[in-house]
Amino acid sequence: MVTFKLNGKEVQGEDGQYIIQVAEKYGVEIPTLCHHKALEPAGMCRICTVELFDGRRTKFVTACNYPIWEGMQINTNTPAVHQGRKLIVEMLYARCPEVPLLKKLAKEYKIKEPRFPKQDDDCILCGLCVRMCERMGNSAISLTGRGTDMKIDTPFGLQSDVCMACGACASVCPTGHITLEKIKNEFTKQHPFMIPSEYEMGLKGRKPVYVPYAQAVPNTPAIDREVCMHFKSGGCGVCSDICQMDAIDYTMEDEIIEIDAGAVVLSPGFTPFDPSKFDNYGYANHPNVMTAMEFERILSASGPTSGHLTRMSDHKEPKKIAWFQCVGSRDMNKCDNKYCSSVCCMYALKEAVIAKEHAGDDLDCAIFYMDMRTHGKDFERYYNRAQDQGIRFLRSRVHTVDPLHDSDDLQVTYVTESGEKVDEIFDMIVLSIGLEISPEIVDMAKKLGIELTDGNFAKTSTFKPVETNKKGIFVAGAFQGPKDIPQSVVDSNAAAGEAGAMLASARNTQTKLPEVIPETNIIGDRPRIGVFVCKCGTNIASVVNVPNVRDYAATLPYVEYCSDNLYSCSQDTQESMSQIIKANNLNRIVVAACTPKTHEPLFQETLVNAGLNKYLFEMTNIRNHASWVHKDTPELATQKAKDLVRMAVSKVALMEPLEEAELQVNPVAMVIGGGISGITAAKTLAQQGYHVHVVEKDQRLGGQANNLFHTYKDEDIAKELGSLVQEVENNEKIHIHLNTTLEAVEGFVGNFKSELLCNKEPSSLEHGIAVIATGAKAYIPNEYEYGKDDRIMTTLDLDKRFIDRDPSLKALNAAVFIQCVGSREPDRPYCSRVCCTHSIDNALALKKINPEMEIFILYRDIRTYGEREYKYQAAREAGIIFVRYALENKPDIQLKEGKVLVTVTDHVLGQPLEIEADLLTLATAIVPNKDERLANFFKVPLNEDGFFVERHAKLGPSEFATDGVFLCGLAHYPKPIDEAIAHGQAAASRAVTLLAKETIHTSGNVANIDPMVCSSCGVCVSICPYAAPSFATQGRFEGTAEINPVLCKGCGLCVASCRSGAIHLKGFDTNQIFAQIFAMNEAV
Amino acid sequence: MNTCINKIRELSFELLDKGEVEKVIGFANGTIPMATSPIAITSTKDIETLVFNSTCGLNLANYIRQHKGKIAVIAKGCDTRNIVTHIVENQVQRDQLYIIGVPCNGMIDKTKIASLFEDDIIEFSEDGNALTVKSALKEETLNKTDYLRQNCRLCLHKNPVIYDALAADLVEEQTLESPYPDVKKIEAMTPDTKWQHFQDLTKNCIRCYACRNACPLCYCPTCFVDESGPQWVGKGQNTTDVNTFHFLRAFHCAGRCTDCGACVEACPMDINVRDFTRKLNKDVFDLFGWEAGLDITKRPPLDAYSPDDPDDFIK
Amino acid sequence: MVENNTKIVAFLCNWCSYGAADLAGVSRMQYPADIRVIRIPCTGRLSPKFILSALREGADAVWVSG
């Protein structure tokens, strides 16, 4: 250790260090242009000149390459030093008067005009690039020439392969002399290119060392070996030098890890279709033709344009954008993807709506489509709203995009519905690309022996929607078929559930329990607060003055211990924190670091390891909320960090140890509804080892599936349903209650008690969870003369005749199907999802019986999503005629002279078409039961249409916000059998996550009522969305409200609503928040 | 009003005599002229102390809480609406009450009448619409309709909304084109004028809390102004604290206030605190179509969540 | 202490706006250092008294987001 004086203060450094390194450690700033941490110093720019007193005389040395020695005295900021630096700056400025950095320095040193003749160079010959290039292992450039001719160049000024175009020289050049252009034109023979950021869809570059995207988990950088110079030349290694944690190990190799698994779930996902092969759209050549995935990045606030809607070629704000649907989907002409990708209509709609939100209402958005397929929950409403917002929908498939010669705009030629040819110019084209399975995945499937469909998706059956042909291998997500997020989440839950069912006997055999550390009782103790301020490497410390914040924290009331850490979250810091807490008897902890949303649990665990209750903790975010967002104002950021620490300290002093109530879960499930979804859920639950009670109001199981003929995959529903029902009936863990209704429910997650009524016989049932699978019913039409003629029937009526093998079907000459009967109407603005496929399937079945039969399907949009599209193709090939009608021009039915006459305006001819139908099938809507009573029993919501509202439209499709209540089947939204079964499995799987826990720990952050202050007004009881408060029915405080901590989610709604101030929210109590507010403005 | 008091006494006598109620809550003459005060009588012999006239401006719903047995209460239109609110808010059970409803023609503005005189009023009497007021210096005969309290002039529910017996025939309800002229006037002010208006409004407040005490809605065991842990609001005369008290009291009344005027009646400094509550009444009406205390089965809109709640303010 | 800097008290919902403020950091969006964040479990937790008392304590503005 070497001790010397820096600006009069005694400082210490390691032997062999240079002055600048020690100064940096002590926060003393010394300017430099040519110094780089990772390189040996060269003392080229001379700006780092400081004054050295060696005991006898003073002299000037360059701080970057002058080694420290015992007893030396350094001054960095004397007038003489300043004068010296000023002269250097003046000379450099004269050499390079246009370089922004030197302009800035000149201004700092108050130089208006240099006294030397101005030149027009932009290189200060600092040689940083040369040293960096050497470090890269290449030495492709050096300082060549002598005297005034000296410059940076390659040997003999020749471009060569020695320069690997890594760009390191450009990245360190302080003046901007070396640019990528210069490298390309003067240094290298190779092709310099931007490393495309995968996350930004290549619209932006990234470094060889990178975090894939801001929210990546784990949020650890990775090295891209393909482009990293260390792996190419063996040089560089800068990252390893700089990393203070020594985390970088270049010798790491790919490992093959063997996992002994009982089941495998395949969820490899899809690959967006690559439209560059479509030369007619010009995607590969024209920057303003982009894919929808790229456009997503343009719309994103964290994207390459920060969410500002501009086009790529000239950064102009577009006025007109067109979307082309079905690019790489429903196409056998230019590609092999004949399936529908299911999600593109909806994402194009969303992009158009958001684009309008970003750019304002005058943005013209046009969507070119074949059929608008908005068959998901609440999607049709979104479509209607988009139409109301003025988004144009053009039913046309555009053939070619023609770039205009005199601008970056694009001309599109298309044919309107009325047959007119139109030329229109757009600023941007977005291609709604489809989903496909990549060759690597197909390869993997082959290796695993997984059967694939025509579209290369994993083949599954309707009744086993997540099982592949290989036992024990399950599939989830887009690999099973193109699908959106909720359906993928359903699948993944279902696959996990089915895999879990297979492995149920092995549950808890590989569990390891952590050591329990006894909790110190701190009640009544004076607060002893420990404050840990994190540097987060340089993430915080480079802006916020961490030692300053630490020292400030030490002055705050009750603070007994303060320290700063390089990385508070590292394993060793965690251990030392735990030791510090014990050694100093700390009983409240503040960590000023990053966000509690990701790191609070980690530090709470540290508290627990130190024997403290985990709620005696407060975290404040001085990284995301200070250093990262105020990097140009370090003083203000430091000030803010101090304020935040003070606020946290004043809050934590008021924190109390909180208890997490433990609650036993009754391992019994109740499934309401014995339809196909409900009994599937029951079966999965029973397979997982739980007793299940199925409550069915009807006299038999099976629900609506009893009325259905066969699936679109030609499976016999009656047969499959029969064996499922039999399996369920024979399972001793499944208890079936037929002819039974649910009369009342009380209790909460883990401990429900329901009253059942069977043939006027009441009984009660205790259960830990409930699955709502109450299904839906068929719409009974009052339009199209239904009920007035036997030849007019609903889809289910027709199925019945198929089931009964009705011989009269063979004798029909003409059959007509009308789609959207009761669906997509103003009264029922949703799509019933199943009817298009069902009608087409039935039409094909009729054709099979009598190939001569004339069949017409009158439709609005055909929505045969995913591989159902093949059926649509088959139907057209079989000669079934599809006639489109509009909502405002519905088909007309006349019963005349014993005939059923259907008149519809043909969309191609524009002429009315009259069909004499022997069979008219109405594809009727699926109508929810709108069971408000049931909704009220479990405090779960219904949507406007009467379907139940799940916890989260995308991420929680099989459960409710109310804990312990799950959802599946048609009660959620219309769906075909395969999806209903997957949904049943998913709901069961979600339920098992709760049942398997055996006990539930509630959060400590719950509300609590002081009965002495409660006025019994009942606002809390009325307002709580989770039914946590109720009136005490016994005891001293009978009549006042009390809160069930098990149901409480800690939102604090009741606390704010309580006029009497009787409710406290533990962890966010009023006095704690007040303490933060009061601490906010304290003078520092 | 004379026939009405006879009927009140008659009903009260019968109820007490038969032991159907433990007490009758009504009005008695005050200790000064042109004033009445609430009274609870438990015996038939006190029947004659009950009075009812145009000075019964307090709200008797304030006194019906926390009784064990059954009680009778004299209630004007607004009082009955507060009784409904009490029932909804669990403060009293319907079967605990015998409500003697009084269709009401409005209460008089005592401050306005007093301002006609330079000295103290020594006598007050009324006969139908004619008020006779005497001081040592002069006697005035006034037309009652000219001296109604503002809330009574704008009253849309003069008749009891809930009752077991009526003390008089129902009166005709008025319909108003603009039920909130006063609020609209304030709403139309510029922010600066509005700020000044409220500064002036509360500048004389002495924080005696008479408004709170007179208000049937203010029944919390500990009012937030009295709480010291946490201390919601400072206790002194600091303008922010004074305003905080008034703002928050108004917020606590949002969707529950029946505009009975008891707060203003009780205020010794003549502060029209209804400027706060009426704005919220208007907002609740505009947003939720809600008037407090009309339906025994519904909670005030701010106590409940409905998917149809207006949310236009969320962008 | 820097003179005349404004102070804005921000009550941010843990589940949305607080996360958004985190994300603003991750995205290195630069904004003035006037905001002091108080994390709350839900904007439903926010009592009007918090707003008034923040103003009383000298806040120039109060921002509630959730």
Q: Which of C49, C55, C56 sits opposite B248 (nearest CB)?
A: C49
CA separation for the pair B174, A636 (Å, rounded): 62
CA separation for the pair A179, B202 (Å, rounded): 69
- Which pLDDT score is estimated for A55? 87
CB A370 within 8 A of CB A312: no
Within a domain: C43: yes
Chain A residues closer than 8 Å to B252 by CB = 1059
- Which pLDDT score is estimated for B315? 58
How many CB atoms are closer than 10 A to CB A637?
24
pLDDT class of A466 with cuts at 50, 70, 90: very high
- Which pLDDT score is estimated for A294? 96
Chain C residues closer than 8 Å to B247 by CB = 48, 52
Mutation target for C interface from A540, A627, A629, A642: give the one with most C CBs within 10 A: A629
- Which pLDDT score is estimated for A572? 86
CA distance B255 to chain A (A): 12
DSSP secondary structure, A518-547, as one string: PPPP-TTPPP-EEEEEE-TTTTTTTTS-HH
Within a domain: C57: yes
CA separation for the pair A377, A371 (Å, rounded): 18
Judged by CB atoms closer than 8 Å, whether chains meet at B247 and C52 is answered as yes
pLDDT averaged over every residue in chain B: 93
How confident is the model over C12-29, as pLDDT tens digits? 999 889 999 998 898 788
CA distance A691 to chain C (A): 36
DSSP assignment, residue A171?
A: H
How many CB atoms are closer than 10 A to CB A789?
15
Q: Domain residue spans in chain B?
A: 2-107+148-303, 108-147
Q: What is the CATH number of the domain that holds A754?
A: 3.50.50.60
pLDDT averaged over every residue in chain A: 93
CA separation for the pair A284, A246 (Å, rounded): 43
> Phi, psi at residue B303, to the nearest 5°?
-90, -10
Residue A582 DSSP SS3: helix
CA distance B123 to chain A (A): 41
Say how many domains are in chain A.
7
- Which pLDDT score is estimated for A839? 98
Gap between the terminal Cα atoms of chain C: 30
CA distance B294 to chain A (A): 17
In terms of residue numbers, what domain contains C42?
Answer: 8-65
**What share of chain A has pLDDT > 70, as a percent?**
100
Q: Are residues A279 and A428 in the same domain?
A: yes
Q: Given a cut of 90, is residue B310 above it in pLDDT?
A: no
Tokens at residue A233, please?
């030349």
A window 915-934, beta carbon within 8 A of C? none
ipTM for the complex shown:
0.96
> Phi, psi at residue A204, to the nearest 5°?
-145, 160
pLDDT class of B3 with cuts at 50, 70, 90: confident
Contacting chains of C (3 CB pairs or more, <8 Å) are A, B
Chain A residues closer than 8 Å to B221 by CB = 1012-1015, 1060
| Ordered strands of the A617-621 beta sheet | A559-565, A529-534, A588-593, A617-621
Q: Which of A1013, A1023, A1061 sits opposite B232 (nearest CB)?
A: A1061
Looking up tokens 């084109």 gives: B177
Q: Which residues contact B193 (CB under 8 A, 6 or more apart)?
A: none
Residue A268 DSSP SS3: coil
Out of A564-568, A600-604, A647-651, pick the least confident.
A564-568
CA A85 to chain centre: 52
Q: Which residues contact B181 (CB under 8 A, 6 or more apart)?
A: B154
How confident is the model over A428-464, as pLDDT tens digits? 999 999 999 999 999 999 999 999 999 999 999 999 9
Say how many domains are in chain C.
1
Q: Are residues A311 and A291 in the same domain?
A: yes
Q: Given a cut of 90, is residue B209 above it in pLDDT?
A: yes
CA distance A1060 to chain B (A): 5
- CA torsion, ordered A328, A332, A336, A342, to nearest 10 deg: 50
Q: Which of B91, B221, B230 sits opposite A1012 (nearest CB)?
A: B221
β-sheet bridge partners, residue B190: none
CA distance B240 to chain C (A): 7
Q: Given a cut of 90, is residue B229 above it in pLDDT?
A: no
CB B131 within 8 A of CB B146: no
Q: Are residues A798 and A689 in the same domain?
A: no
Tokens at residue B283, please?
């907002």
Cα B34–B40–B41 angle (5° rounding)?
A: 105
Residue A294 DSSP SS3: helix
Chain C residues closer than 8 Å to A624 by CB = 21-26
* Residue where one domain finishes, among candidates A1000, A1024, A1050: A1000
Q: What is the enclosing helix (H) or strand (E) of A418? A: none
How many CB atoms are closer than 10 A to CB B247?
18
DSSP assignment, residue B53?
A: S
Q: Taking each helix axis from N to C terminus, what angle separates A596-609 and A571-583, rounded to the nearest 10 degrees?
A: 50
pLDDT class of B2 with cuts at 50, 70, 90: low
> Phi, psi at residue A316, to the nearest 5°?
-80, 145
Q: Which of C30, C44, C50 sits opposite A1077 (nearest CB)?
A: C50
Chain A residues closer than 8 Å to C36 by CB = 640, 643-644, 647, 1080
Cα A391–A394–A398 angle (5° rounding)?
A: 125
How big is chain B, counted in residues? 315
pLDDT class of B223 with cuts at 50, 70, 90: very high
Q: Closest-CA residue in chain C for A1064?
A: C45
Q: What is the CATH number of the domain that holds A1009?
A: 3.30.70.20
CB A398 within 8 A of CB A413: yes
CA separation for the pair A958, A950 (Å, rounded): 7
CA separation for the pair A535, A594 (Å, rounded): 10
Q: Are residues A380 and A417 in the same domain?
A: yes
Within a domain: A407: yes
- Which pLDDT score is estimated for A215? 74
In terms of residue numbers, what domain contains A388?
Answer: 271-436
Q: How many CA atoms lie within 13 A of A453 on its CB side?
A: 23
Within a domain: A701: yes
Q: Which of B229, B252, B305 sits opposite A1071 (nearest CB)?
A: B229
Q: Given a cut of 70, is residue B314 above it in pLDDT?
A: no
Q: What is the CA radius of gyration of chain B?
A: 20
DSSP secondary structure, B126-182, as one string: EETTEEEEEESS-EEEEEGGGGB-HHHHT-S--S-SS-SEESSPPPPPP--S-S-HH
CA distance B298 to chain A (A): 10
- Does the CB of A302 have a partner CB in chain C at under 8 Å? yes
- Does the CB of A484 have a partner CB in chain C at under 8 Å? no
Does A518 sit behind a cis peptide bond, omega within 30 degrees of 0 on the bond before it? Answer: no
How many CB atoms are closer than 10 A to CB A962?
19
CB A19 within 8 A of CB A66: yes
- Does the CB of B32 have a partner CB in chain A at under 8 Å? no
DSSP assignment, residue A879?
A: T
Mean pLDDT of A848-852: 95
Judged by CB atoms closer than 8 Å, whether chains meet at C25 and A643 is answered as no
Range A631-635 contact pairs with CB under 8 angstroms and sequence separation of 24 or more: A631/A542, A631/A543, A631/C28, A631/C30, A632/C30, A633/C32, A633/C33, A634/A543, A634/A544, A634/A545, A635/C2
Q: Given a cut of 60, is residue A407 above it in pLDDT?
A: yes
How confident is the model over A972-995, as pLDDT tens digits? 999 999 999 999 999 999 999 999
Q: Are residues A365 and A322 in the same domain?
A: yes
Alpha helix ranges (H) inside chain B: 2-17, 77-88, 110-114, 150-153, 181-187, 191-202, 210-214, 239-253, 262-266, 274-288
Within a domain: C41: yes
Q: Closest-CA residue in chain B for C58?
A: B240
- Which pLDDT score is estimated for A1082? 63
Chain C residues closer than 8 Å to B244 by CB = 49, 52-53, 56
Q: Given a cut of 60, is residue B1 above it in pLDDT?
A: no
CA separation for the pair A1029, A1032 (Å, rounded): 9
Q: What is the CATH number of the domain that holds A55?
A: 3.10.20.740
**What share of chain A has pLDDT > 90, as a percent?**
84
Chain A residues closer than 8 Å to B299 by CB = 1018-1019, 1022
- Which pLDDT score is estimated for A510? 86
Q: Are residues A739 and A632 in the same domain?
A: no
- Which pLDDT score is estimated for B181? 95
CA distance A383 to chain B (A): 20
Looking up tokens 């750019």 gives: A359
DSSP secondary structure, A961-1023, as one string: SSTTEEE-GGGTS---HHHHHHHHHHHHHHHHHHHTTSEEEPPS--EEE-TTT-----HHHHH
How confident is the model over A272-301, as pLDDT tens digits? 999 998 889 999 999 999 999 999 999 988
Q: Given a cut of 60, is residue B134 above it in pLDDT?
A: yes
* Higher pLDDT pick, A490 / A1049: A490
Alpha helix ranges (H) inside A610-692: 634-652, 676-687
Mutation target for A interface from B82, B87, B89, B217: give the one with most A CBs within 10 A: B89
Mean pLDDT of A833-862: 96
Chain A residues closer than 8 Å to C33 by CB = 626, 629-630, 633, 636-637, 639-640
Mean pLDDT of A369-375: 97
Q: Closest-CA residue in chain A for C40?
A: A1068
Mean pLDDT of A881-887: 95
How confident is the model over B77-122, as pLDDT tens digits? 999 999 999 999 999 999 999 999 999 999 999 999 999 999 999 9
Residue B38 burial class via C-beta count within 10 angstroms: exposed 0-12, middle 13-18, buried 19 and up: middle
DSSP secondary structure, A1019-1032, as one string: HHHHH-TT--EEE-
Q: Are residues A65 and A140 in the same domain?
A: no
- Which pLDDT score is estimated for A1084? 35
B window 80-99, beta carbon within 8 A of A? 89-91
Within a domain: C1: no
Q: Are residues A287 and A353 in the same domain?
A: yes
* A&C contacts, CB < 8 Å: 124
- Does the CB of B247 have a partner CB in chain C at under 8 Å? yes
Residue C44 DSSP SS3: helix
Q: Are residues A211 and A300 in the same domain?
A: no
CA distance C45 to chain B (A): 14
- Does the CB of A629 have a partner CB in chain C at under 8 Å? yes
* Higher pLDDT pick, A645 / A406: A645
Question: Please, what's the largest Cα pairwise distance for chain A?
Answer: 126
Q: How many CA atoms lie within 13 A of A1072 on its CB side?
A: 25
CA separation for the pair A973, A832 (Å, rounded): 8
Residue B112 DSSP SS3: helix
